[in-house]
Structure 1
Amino acid sequence: MTKRFDAEARQGLFLLAPPFVYALLVLAAPLLTILTYSFFKDGYLEVISEFTLDNYREVLGDPIVRKIMLRSLMVSALVTLVTVALAFPIAYYVSFMVRPERKSMWLFLITIPFWTSYLIRVFLWKVILGYNGVINSTLTGLGIIDEPLTFILYNVNSIVLTLAHAYAPFAILPIFVALEKIDRSLLEAGRDLGESRVMTFWRVTLPLAMPGVIAATLIVFIPTIGDYVTPELIGGGKIPMIANMIQVQMLALDNRPLGSALAVTAMLIVALVSVIFLFLNRRFLKVRQ
């Protein structure tokens, strides 16, 4: 019996070893490299391998860094709110209103944005929102405005709109999966007990769909706070976020230790915000139950 157990254990380790090594090389090695660099000194032309906390002191003490980090958090939170708020009705419609044989077609349509690269989609929004773009040309052609609008591009609103469109499928799909798992008999039971559609949704559907909402929130929030392309192109470089600041330190100024400290600090803040969100959501579900 023991020999059989040992053989199964060895077989399991043999199967797990390749993906574990792959994850270690692809994920852990870059993170450890950045973490190591963040404790080194910048010698302007080279990195000095000498332990120091000066990079973190500069990051935490610089008001510009705090302002950009706060802006990044606010923009990401706004993008997440808009994306999830728009994704939930779509996922609800596909799950509850669309006939089963047509759901696959709707999911196929939702994934169409993935057919083109992220960079092309950002450029398309720049064309749509530009000074001589689709919106301004249409409004001018219809005589609604005399001159092209200048406030629809190179601002926070345009960044939020572009990011919300780019990450919409990432929010729709996990919410749809959570809604599909809901037992429809529970909704019928709520209606039989005299609850209205609104109260049934609030007391039954929404709590059961919260795992999908949580997944969608984290999937959207975590990558958007580190987005570099959209603030650079849609924001015109006028509204930098933390990823743009890291890029400047890493490439333009060749200050890899400070850039690494910025990256590590941003990761820790994102992790802290995510943990707080999960804790508050768990408390919310306990109260609802």
Structure 2
Amino acid sequence: MWRRIISTEGGRGLLLISPPFFYALALLAVPLGAIVLFSFWTQDFVTVDTTFTLNNYREIAEKPIYGVLLQRSLFVSACVTLVTVVLAFPVAYFVSFHVRPERKSLWLFLITIPFWTSYLIRVFLWKVILGYNGVINSGLMKMGLIDEPLTFILYNVNAVIITLAHAFAPFAILPIFVALEKIDRSLLEASQDLGESKIMTFFRITLPLSMPGLVAAVLIVFIPTIGDYVTPELMGGAGGKLIANMIQTQFLALNNAPLGAALAVVAMLSVTAISLAFVLLNIRWLKGRS
């Protein structure tokens, strides 16, 4: 039987993809299924009651704190995504269109330098930069621009957005750069030969053709930022906590894993719905232009 399967092209293809498939199933699908299943249970300290119940989701709907944290998390993720993509696009555009081909690899190498250091170290560095006596406040005070240190740049949502935007910048630059590299330069030349300005050429040709990279950048930044709890924990203070911090608290501090699992499921569903809506709107926009 196995010889008969291996002898066919489809069987050989199935044999090749089966190891990564089962690997992904074991490390992704099974834990995710366990979280979903756990969200319908209850826990009393160390005792887990496996009786099916919707009490966890009912509690999430009834207590305003969870809705506030989820809304804040979505808002912070949206702001981080907007800031990151807006700042990443000019960098990717410059590297793609204005850097000589033999130097593009060097620029990409420089862009990935932040990955050389630990994510935690980068967060602590931003804490030093944005601190009460940090680099920014000390510099502004020495220049005479402020009389006392600024307090709105640390231990709040602003600090979380700044830190996350810096951390995820390479994730946005690289997919946009790849999309810009695939654009046929003759299309831009033809547009300008037909009388279009450089600005209109950008909006009518470059931007629509780079949309796959922009969509990828948005999703790559938006989806993981809503689940980040290290940055809000270190940079957010009391007013900068996100839904991921509440999930961590439920699992570790309050010993209520089912409620934490339910919060994780709600957060995942919210992110999935927003991401799908964004992709569908983008597809509709592109079809409307074609």
Q: Give the shorter-chain TM-score range.
A: over 0.9
Aligned residue number for residue 176 of structure 2: 175
Q: Closer, same or farther in 2 for the Cα pair 1:5/1:28, shift >3 Å?
A: closer
Counterpart code for 2:100: R
Contact in 2 for aligned 1:222/1:270 (Cα 8 Å):
yes
Q: What's 2:217 paired with?
A: 216
Comparing 35-44 with 160-169, greater Cα deviation is found at: 35-44
1:265 aligned partner: 266
Kindly indicate whether the alpha-carbon contact (under 8 Å) linking 1:182 and 1:208 is maintained by their aligned counterparts in 2: yes
Q: Deviations over 1:86-121 (max 9, x none)?
A: 000110000001110110010001000000111111
After alignment, is 99-108 or 59-68 more displaced? 59-68
Secondary structure of the residue that 1:234 maps to in structure 2?
helix
Checking the alignment, whether the CA contact within 8 Å between 2:5 and 2:11 is kept in structure 1 is no
TM-align CA RMSD: 1.5
CA offsets per residue over residues 221-272 of structure 1, 9 Å max, x none?
A: 0000111011111112432111001011111001011000000110001000
Contact 1:159–1:234 (Cα < 8 Å) also in 2: yes
2:239 alignment partner, SS class: coil
TM-aligned CA deviation for residue 62 of structure 1: 1.9
Whole-angstrom CA distance in 1 between matches of 2:84 and 2:165: 5
Partners of 1:4 and 1:157 lie apart in 2 by 58
Mapped to 2, the partners of 1:275 and 1:8 lie a distance apart of 35
SS at match of 1:47: strand
The secondary structure found in structure 2 opposite 1:132 is coil
CA contact (8 A) 1:47 1:256 kept: no
The answer for the alignment partner of 1:154 in structure 2 is 155
Work out the CA distance in 2 between the residues paired with 1:207 and 1:163: 27
Displacement after TM superposition at 1:9 (Å): 2.9
Answer yes or no: is the 8 Å Cα contact 2:176–2:210 preserved in 1: yes
For the 8 Å contact 1:88–1:172, the answer to whether it is kept is yes
TM-score normalized with structure 2 length: 0.96
Q: Any idea what the Cα deviations from partners look like across 1:37-70, whole Å, max 9, x if unmatched?
A: 1011122332111111111111122211111111
Corresponding letter in the other structure for 2:118? S
Specify the alignment match of 1:145 in structure 2: 146
Q: Which amino acid aligns with 2:221?
A: V
CA distance in 1, matches of 2:10, 2:104: 42
Shift of 1:20: 1.0
Give the drift of 1:5.
7.8
Match of 1:164 in 2: 165
- Could you say which residue in structure 2 is the equivalent of 1:124? 125
Q: Separation in 1 of the partners of 2:209 and 2:62?
A: 43
Q: Structure 1: which 5+ runs fail to align?
A: none
CA deviation after TM superposition for structure 1 residue 21, in Å: 1.3
Q: Which runs of 4+ in 1 moved over 6 A?
A: none
Q: Do the aligned partners of 2:77 and 2:222 also contact (CA within 8 Å) in 1?
A: yes
In the alignment, what sits opposite 2:111? Answer: 110
- Aligned counterparts, 1:1-289, within 5 A: 6-289=7-290
Task: Kindly provide the amino acid, as one letter, of the partner of residue 119 in structure 2.
Answer: Y
Q: How many angstroms apart in 2 are the aligned matches of 1:197 and 1:60?
A: 51
Counterpart of 2:38, as a letter, is: Y
Query: 1:210/1:95 Cα in 2 relative to 1: closer, same or farther (>3 Å)?
Result: same
Q: How many residues align?
A: 288
Q: TM-score normalized by structure 1? A: 0.96
Match of 2:132, SS state, is coil
Contact 1:231–1:237 (CA<8 Å) still a contact in 2? no
Which string of whole-angstrom CA distances, capped at 9 and with x for unpartnered residues, describes residues 181-214 of structure 1?
0000000110111101011011100000000000
**What's the CA shift string for 1:128-172, capped at 9, x where partnerless?**
000111111222233333322222111222111111100000000
Q: Which amino acid aligns with 2:64?
A: P
Q: Unaligned 5+ residue runs, structure 2?
A: none
Q: Is the partner of 1:85 in helix, strand or coil?
A: helix
2-side partners of 1:184 and 1:145: how far apart?
Answer: 48
